Amino acid sequence: MDQRQGQARQASETLRRRGLLAAIAAVVAGGLAKASERVAQAGGTQGTALIDGEVNTATNPTQLNGQPTWSGQSVFVVDGTSVGARAIVGTGGAAAGVQGILGAAASTTGSAGVQGSSSSSPGVRGDSDTSTGVFGYSGGLYGVEGSGPVGVFGQTAANGGVGVSGAASSGVGVHGGVDTSGTGVRGDGNNNQIGVLGVSASQAYQLAAPGQPAAVYGLASASIPGVVGQSNSGNGVYGASVGNVGVLGTSSASHGLYGASTSGYGLYATSTNSTGIVSSTNGGNAIQGASNGNVGVLGTSNSSIGGYFSSGTSTGLYATGPGAGFAARFDGPVQVNGAFTVLGGPKSAAVPHPDGSHRRLYCLESPESWFEDFGRGQLVNGRAAVQLDRDFAALVRSDDYYVFLTETGDCGGLYLANRSGTGFEVRARNAAATGPFDYRVVARRKDIAAPRLETVDIPAPPARPAAPPPPPAIPPLDPPRVDPAHQVPETRPAPR
C-alpha cells in the first residue's frame, strides 16, 4: 500500500515539472516573437509606425492631425516626469538654416506657433553656448511674447553677452507693457553693473558697454541725446535720491545741465531746508543770467536777503550800465559798511521842488573828514557860555575844533574867549552887549583815520564776462500721440 502511494506521488511531481517547463517555453517564444516584430517595425523604412523608446529614422515629414473638440485640447502630448528629463528635444544638426523645433500658427486670434506653460518654472527655455537661446520673429506683431510674473527672462554668462535682445527694422525692438500694476520693462544690474543699457549709433552693436555702473544708462556716439524723457503734462524726467544727487549732469565740452521751456521756467530748483541752487566753477562764471526782454538775474526772499554777493579777493558786486542809464538802482534805504568812494561824478541829492521837478543839490567836500554842528547862543552883559552837544562831542575830537561866530545884532564884534572839551565861551567887545548870536562848530571825526588829501588807488574795472554761448540745438520731439499702426495685444486664454 505504501509502495503504491509513493509511485503515485512521483508520477504527479513529474507531470508538474513538465507543465512548468512548457509554460516557460511558451513565454520565451512569445517574447521572441514580439522582439522580432519590433525589429521589423523599428522605423528604418518609410511608412512604419512611430515607436516610443526607439530611434525613428524616417526621412519624410511626420504630421499629426487632430481635431480638438474643446478649447485647450492637445493633439500630441509628451510627458517627461524624471528629474532633468526633456519631454521633447529637437536638434537641427550642423547645416545652416536648420531649426531644431519650428512652430507655426495661422493668424487666428489666440493662436501661437510655440507655447510653453509652467506653474513654477519657465514655460519656454532655450539654451545656446555661442548663439541665441530663443529667437522669435514676427512680420506683424510680437516676435516673442511672455506673460506671468516675469514675461520674458533672458540670461547670459558670456562676457559682453546680451540677456534679452530685441531688434526691429522700423518699430520697437523691445516693448514692455503693464495694465494696472507692476513694471513694463525691468533690468537688474547685479554687483553694481548696468541694469538697462540703451545705445544709439550708426553701428550701435559695435559700442562696448560703459564701465560706469547705473540702473539705466543711455549711450549715443553722435550728437543726439543719450536719454530723452517726454511728457504732455507730467515730468519728462524725474530724478530722486535719498542720500545723494537726484539728477547729475556733466559734460567735458558743453553744458552739464540744460533746461529750456517755451512758456514756463527753463530750470526750477527748490529745497526745503537748504540752498535751491549751488553753482561753482574754477575759471568761468558760477552763475550767469541773460535775458533779451526781462531781468537777467532776479533774487527775492520772503524772510531774508534777496541777493547776497561776496568775494574773497575781488569785488563782491560789480554792475555796469549804459551811459544814459543806471549801473544800479536802490529803491529804499541803503547801508554801506565801509568806505564810500565816488569816481567821475558828484555826490548829490535830488530834492523835490514845488514846481513838481527834482533839483540836484551837491555835497560839500573837504580834504579831511569833518563833522559840524550849528547852534544859537545868548549874550548877557557881553558874555555867553555854550556847551557842546554831548552826543556830538562823543563823535569828534573835542580837544581841537573850530568855532565860527555870527552876530545877529550890534554887539561890537564877537570873539572866542575860551574853549574846552565840553564847550566854549563867547565874549563881545561891547561889555554891555546883550542879544543872540549864531555859531558853527567844525571838528574832525574821531573813529577813523582820514589823512588829508589821501591818495586813492583806483583798481581797474573787471573784465566784462563774455556772453554765454548759444544754447545747444534742441532736438525736435514729436508730442506723444497715438500710433495709427499700433496693435493692441490680444488676450490669450490660459493654457490648460
Give the DSSP per-residue string, 164-209: S----SSS-SS----SSSS-SS----TTT--SEEEEESTTGGGSPP
Is residue 390 within 8 Å of residue 372, measured between CB atoms? no
In the chain, where the domains are located:
372-445
CA 61 to chain centre: 58
Task: Provide the residue type at 28 as one letter.
Answer: V
- Rounded to whole angstroms, how far apart are CA atoms 368 and 365? 9
Band of pLDDT at residue 15, cut at 50, 70 and 90: very low
pLDDT of 426 reads 97
Report the half-sphere exposure of 148 (CA within 13 A, side-chain side): 17
Show Cβ contacts of residue 415 under 8 Å, excluding neighbours closer than 6 positions: 405, 426, 427, 429
Give, in order, the Cα–Cα distances in Å from 332 to each of 134, 316, 329, 335, 363. 76, 20, 9, 10, 20
**Stronger pLDDT, 90 or 363, i.e. the higher one:** 363
Is residue 384 within 8 Å of residue 377, measured between CB atoms? yes
Q: Determine how many CB atoms are found less than 10 A away from the CB of residue 382.
A: 17
Is residue 384 within 8 Å of residue 393, measured between CB atoms? no
Nearest to 403 by CA among 445, 383, 427, 374: 374
Q: Bridge partners of 425?
A: 385, 418
Q: Residues 79-127: pLDDT tens digits?
A: 655 555 565 666 655 555 556 666 766 555 666 677 777 777 777 777 7
Buried b (16+ CB within 10 A) or exposed e, 107-125: eeeeeeeeeeeeeeeeeee
pLDDT of 27 reads 44
The grid cell for 27 is 513565454
pLDDT-wise least confident of 67-76, 111-120, 141-150, 428-437: 67-76
Give, in order, the Cα–Cα distances in Å from 333 to each of 329, 330, 336, 431. 11, 8, 10, 51
pLDDT of 486 reads 61
Domain 372-445 fold = Immunoglobulin-like (2.60.40)
Band of pLDDT at residue 436, cut at 50, 70 and 90: very high
